[in-house]
Structure 1
Amino acid sequence: MSGPSDHRHIVVGIDGSRGALNAAAWATEIAALHRVPLRLLCVHDPSEHEREVEPHHGEHERQRAQDAHRHLTEAADVARHVAASAPTRPGNTEIRMEMRAGTSFTTLLEAADAADLLVLGARNGSSSGSESLVTTAALIARAACPVAVVRAGFRRTGGPVVTGVRSECEPDVLHYAFRYAHRRGTLLRAVHCVLAGPGSSEPGTEHAAGSNEARDLLDTWLEPDEARFPDVVVDPITTETPADVALVRYSSSAELVVVGRGAPHPPRGILGRTATGVFMHAMCPVIFVGPHRRDRYPRA
């Protein structure tokens, strides 16, 4: 789909991997929850080098296109199966398939410009998996919209939403987490790390984790969204554990972790320390929120 940016939808990168199928399944539930279309996007890359030196490049391009179509069909079958049993609006989620030629990185970045959320599957192990990690991290850092990463064995429902509360300078992260918890009707666990170590990229405070000052500060940051979403039950936590370690620990029983990407500004496009740790080790789906060029939230 290449429609106008005001058409709300979720984009899933499809590449034939198990991780992509996991992403399609999870994203279908989110699309049903927020009542937006799901766009399955598969990119096949016709190499310019092969065009020049490969006498049968046309045949190879056709094969790549056929493979991309097969990957899309498999992902769409998974999505339709999930949509049919969705707890909200079962079977009503619009599922679109799109195949495009180009580089995956550039095409997914372009797709994120008009999306509410870009969803990517995580790969584990192997050299291709390592390369995929680098590409995924770069997409998280540079995409115009929030980016979700889904690992194998993700927790579908039942756990809390966990979010890292870094400071008052990241309201987008809290706002996104509150909106998701409101829509899902689940507990929001808000974790703030204090007394960050020397040289840490995370802004610490001068308060001990168990002090009244630290808790009062966290309560102050939570207050605006607690007023907007009075139905959301919040479990505020202050800890001296490094933020990435704490969030990974809580991810073991969570439905979702919402965290800031923490990276300064383009053109660097580098994830912050906490975002990198959560990206590498979280045990549930993670949504990385702002500072993007544009942050959009599911409607309440």
Structure 2
Amino acid sequence: MLRPIVVGLDGSRESLAAADWAAREALLRGLPLRLVHAWEGLPSDAADLPELDAPRHWARRILRAAMDRIDEKYPQVSLSGDQIARPAADALVTAGAESELLVLGSRAFSGIGGFMAGSVASATVAHAVRPVVLVRAGRTAEDEHLPDAEGRTSAVTAYRPVVVGLDPAHSCEELLAFAFESAALHAAPLRVLYAWQLPFMPVAAEAKARRTLRETATRRLDRVLGPWREKYPAVELHPLAEEGRPALRLLDITKDAGLLVVGRRIRPAVLGTHTGPVAHAVVHHARCPVAVVPHE
């Protein structure tokens, strides 16, 4: 049975953009699409209270309107929808565990959007066991493609690059699998960034140390990517071993990208959950969709 792509809805512009992005991805991957709206409501013994009529109507309307929208724009998609009476983050983590991808709306620090784009999305990303893709409001099909020869937006030109950030010192199999598969599906180039930093040292020693660290970083990156070059020979690969802070370097090389892929290490329960500083930074500041891939 095929795993669906699951979208979390809250009626915001961000979540509608996420649904559109997910529908296009479902068509490309040949997967079903499931729209989920979580509304905790009140206990069943209060089900007849008239004051619940309005929020209950709004909850049904959010799901129905989104399904009608997808049906009209992407009629080829195999579509289903569910309203779940649970806290949003819990419902999405559960639904995401059974999905190929979980897609949510996302906003920048300075933006204003629905709850799904803020605390719920953050909590969901921190607990999800499958990849989560976060999409900005207003993201269109044309934004995923390069401009045409005259510089105009287009939905038929080549896809923009996929970018993935990694640290060869840690396991990155899941991360690279997702990035290479995404690049292959979109026939897009793949940029793989390993950002390294020069430790504090006397100024006189910096030039030699920088040269040594750059050469070491390049070798480590090439060693990690070797098997993936063989597995995905058709993917146009651009390894980048660059000096700088990972989040800042990723944001810089992602300005013209179609998708940014970052990892989130799964920590033991006793240590709690977190997204990590790099994932946290790019989720809030990258303009393109960001895929957060959990890994050991």
Q: TM-score range by the shorter chain?
A: 0.7 to 0.9
Q: Which of the numbers 241, 244, 259 marks the counterpart of 1:241?
A: 244
Q: Pick closer, same or farther for the CA change 1:147–1:131 going to 2, 3 Å.
A: closer
Q: What amino acid does structure 1 have at the position aligned with 2:102?
A: L
Q: Which has the larger Rg?
A: 2
Q: Which runs of 5+ in 1 are unaligned?
A: 1-5, 84-90, 199-205, 293-300
Deviation, 1:112, is 1.3
1:16, 1:111 → 2: CA distance? 18
Q: What amino acid does structure 2 have at the position aligned with 1:177?
A: A
Q: Which of the numbers 63, 73, 94 marks the counterpart of 2:64?
A: 73
Note if 1:59 corresponds to 2:50: yes
Q: Which of the numbers 166, 191, 194 marks the counterpart of 2:193?
A: 191
Note if 1:16 corresponds to 2:7: no
Q: Pick closer, same or farther for the CA change 1:129–1:266 going to 2, 3 Å.
A: farther
Q: Pick closer, same or farther for the CA change 1:235–1:47 going to 2, 3 Å.
A: same
1:263, 1:280 → 2: CA distance? 20
Q: Which of the numbers 120, 131, 141 marks the counterpart of 2:104?
A: 120
1:82, 1:185 → 2: CA distance? 23
Once the two structures are superposed, residues 216-272 of structure 1 have per-residue CA deviations (whole angstroms, 9 ceiling, x without a partner) of: 211111111111100001011111121111111222210101110246343511111
1:201 is matched with: none
Q: Pick closer, same or farther for the CA change 1:11–1:163 going to 2, 3 Å.
A: same
1:101 is matched with: 85
Question: RMSD in angstroms over aligned alpha carbons?
Answer: 2.6
Deviation, 1:185, is 0.4
2:224 is matched with: 221
The secondary structure found in structure 2 opposite 1:8 is coil
2:148 is matched with: none
* Contact 1:10 1:37 survives alignment (8 Å): yes
2:292 is matched with: 288
Q: Which runs of 5+ in 2 are unaligned?
A: 146-158, 201-208
2:23, 2:72 → 1: CA distance? 9
* Contact 1:26 1:156 survives alignment (8 Å): no
Note if 1:232 corresponds to 2:235: yes
Note if 1:156 corresponds to 2:144: yes
TM-score w.r.t. the length of structure 1 is 0.81
* Contact 1:188 1:235 survives alignment (8 Å): yes
Mapping for residues 34-49 of structure 1, pairs under 5 Å: 34-47=29-42
Deviation, 1:178, is 0.4
The secondary structure found in structure 2 opposite 1:261 is strand
* Contact 2:188 2:236 survives alignment (8 Å): yes
Deviation, 1:64, is 2.2
1:31 is matched with: 26
The number of aligned residues is 269
* Contact 1:177 1:188 survives alignment (8 Å): yes
Q: What amino acid does structure 1 have at the position aligned with 2:231?
A: R
Note if 1:261 corresponds to 2:264: yes
